[in-house]
């Protein structure tokens, strides 16, 4: 017998179809019917984030333990999924020689570079929301670069190896100071799928990547053939192969990098865990953005692409002092300011204060 049921649209299917037509023909009233009930079409409340999933992609076995310092060393790589928005952030470190004078105010500037790339189809979707004149990649990457190059987020001295050895009367110390070695971080963010709120998810993906980042510890190895000192990674192989004399010469340098009194104790803790000796990146404060969207007379949190099309985004930048020893965050430890990247207008002072209050509550839970 021929089944003809599939040829007819059921009542429930007609209802869904009518709802989807209504959604596209009159999106303002479609969303308003949800907003006035305190809900959104995806089931969230007005002040709720989408579910976030973060995956750490670092597999040290793929990084290589004898990487040349002419290449970047991958130190962190994560994927962040928030609903249908998918972000990938990787951080690499390069050891370079700084040719600027030690007295130059530029010496410890521009230690972090940030790039944001958006897939072609995601770019089209962003243009549909904001218009083709907006360069979202430049806006977000420039903001992140300014934030990360601030000394109150990432202590800059940890990147300048010559600063660690300044004023020490030691042959290795003099080589370090003269070489002006420093680490430079290259942060690469990519938006692979876009469903709104690229600001928050770009920033949060970078924060997660920073929290998983570890800087390699290096030592200077003397090359008698060329009478030069060359920086090298401390690998499990270099420890077991008996390079004790090299390490002994570098004792002060190693202790300064590791912030310890006996580098040999640290060898036992770390070498073998990451294939080469590392130290977690020092972070003074964690940067966040909290993005709201004003849709008609309603304000919602973490807007989707559809919601951005009927409203105006408002982002709050917040900086929370990093203190792993304390679970209670004092209000003084959270600094906030309003970002006006999308040219938002019509926001009253009372609404701004409300957004700050909500943002503070969110940051306290992170």
Instruction: Give the span between the Cα atoms of 205 and 89, in whole angstroms.
Output: 6
Give the whole-angstrom CA distance, residue 57 versus residue 77: 5
* Contact partners, residue 159, CB within 8 Å, separation at least 6: 108, 111, 182, 183, 184, 185, 215
Structure tokens at 259: 């912030």
The sign of the torsion formed by the CA atoms of 7, 13, 15, 21 equals: negative
pLDDT of residue 135: 78
* Sequential DSSP letters for 203-268: HHHHHHHHHT-EEEPEEEEEETTTTEEEEEE-BHHHHHTT-HHHHHHTHHHHHHHHTSS-HHHHHH
Spatial CB neighbours of 335, under 8 Å, sequence gap ≥ 6:
318, 319
Looking up tokens 């990247």 gives: 341
Main-chain phi, psi angles of 198, to 5 degrees: -65, -25
If we measure between CA atoms, which residue out of 62, 58, 38 comes closest to residue 48?
38
**Quick check: 78 and 55 in contact, CB under 8 A?**
yes
The pLDDT of residue 199 is 92
For residue 25, count other CB atoms closer than 10 A to its CB: 9
CA distance 49 to 53: 12
Helix (H, G, I), strand (E, B) or coil at 91: strand
How far, in Å, CA of 307 to CA of 20, rounded? 15
Q: Which two tokens stand for residue 360?
A: 């503070």
CA atoms of 121 and 103, how far apart (whole Å): 47
Return the bridge partners of 218, or none: 233
Query: What would the two tokens of residue 85 be?
Result: 């928005």
Per-residue pLDDT tens digits of the chain, which is 366 residues long? 333 333 444 445 444 445 666 677 788 889 999 999 999 999 999 999 999 999 998 864 444 444 445 568 899 999 999 999 999 999 999 988 776 655 555 556 788 999 999 888 877 776 666 666 567 888 899 999 999 998 889 988 888 887 777 777 777 887 877 777 889 999 999 999 999 899 999 999 999 999 999 988 888 877 766 667 778 888 777 766 666 777 888 888 888 888 888 888 777 666 555 567 888 899 999 999 999 999 988 999 999 999 998 988 889 998 888 765 344 455 566 778 887 645 556 677 788 888 889 998 888 887
Identify the bridge partners of residue 290 per DSSP, sorted by sequence position: 316
Domains of the chain (ranges, CATH numbers) = 52-213+281-365 (3.30.230.70), 219-279 (no CATH)
The CA distance from 277 to 132, in Å, is: 47
**How far, in Å, CA of 359 to CA of 4, rounded?**
55
Confidence (pTM) = 0.84
Partners of residue 78 on adjacent β-strands:
56, 89
Two tokens, residue 162:
């010559």
Q: Are 189 and 75 in contact (CB under 8 A)?
A: no
Residue the block writes with tokens 């408002």: 314
Angle between helices 263-270 and 251-258 (to 10 degrees): 60
């Amino acid at each position: 017998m021929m089944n003809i049921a599939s040829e007819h649209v059921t009542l429930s299917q007609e209802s869904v179809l009518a709802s989807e037509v209504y959604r596209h023909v009159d999106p303002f009233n479609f969303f308003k019917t949800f907003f006035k009930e305190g809900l959104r079409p995806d089931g969230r409340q007005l002040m709720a984030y989408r579910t976030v999933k973060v995956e750490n992609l670092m597999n040290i076995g793929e990084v290589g333990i004898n990487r040349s310092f002419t290449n970047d060393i991958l130190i962190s790589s994560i994927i962040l999924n928030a609903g249908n928005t998918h972000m990938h952030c990787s951080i690499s470190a390069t050891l370079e020689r700084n040719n600027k004078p030690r007295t130059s105010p530029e010496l410890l500037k521009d230690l972090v570079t940030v790039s944001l790339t958006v897939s072609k189809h995601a770019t089209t979707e962003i243009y549909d929301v904001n218009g083709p004149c907006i360069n979202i990649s430049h806006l977000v990457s420039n903001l992140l670069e300014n934030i990360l190059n601030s000394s109150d987020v990432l202590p800059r001295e940890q990147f300048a190896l010559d600063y660690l050895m300044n004023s020490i009367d030691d042959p290795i110390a003099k080589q370090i100071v003269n070489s002006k070695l420093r680490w430079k971080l290259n942060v690469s963010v990519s938006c692979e799928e876009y469903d709104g709120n690229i600001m928050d998810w770009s920033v949060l993906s970078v924060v997660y990547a920073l929290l998983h980042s570890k800087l390699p510890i290096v030592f200077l190895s003397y090359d008698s053939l060329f009478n030069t000192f060359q920086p090298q990674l401390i690998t499990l192989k270099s420890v077991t192969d008996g390079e004790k004399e090299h390490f002994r010469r570098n004792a002060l340098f190693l202790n300064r990098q590791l912030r310890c009194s006996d580098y040999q104790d640290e060898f036992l803790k770390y070498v073998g865990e990451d294939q080469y000796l590392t130290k977690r990146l020092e972070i003074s404060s964690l940067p966040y953005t909290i993005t709201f969207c004003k849709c008609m007379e309603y304000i919602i949190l973490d807007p989707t692409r559809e919601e951005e099309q009927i409203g105006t985004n408002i982002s709050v930048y917040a900086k929370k002092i990093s203190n792993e020893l304390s679970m209670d965050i004092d209000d003084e430890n959270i600094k906030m300011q309003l970002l006006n990247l999308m040219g938002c207008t019509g926001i009253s002072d009372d609404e701004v204060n409300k957004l700050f209050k909500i943002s503070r509550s969110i940051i306290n839970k992170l």
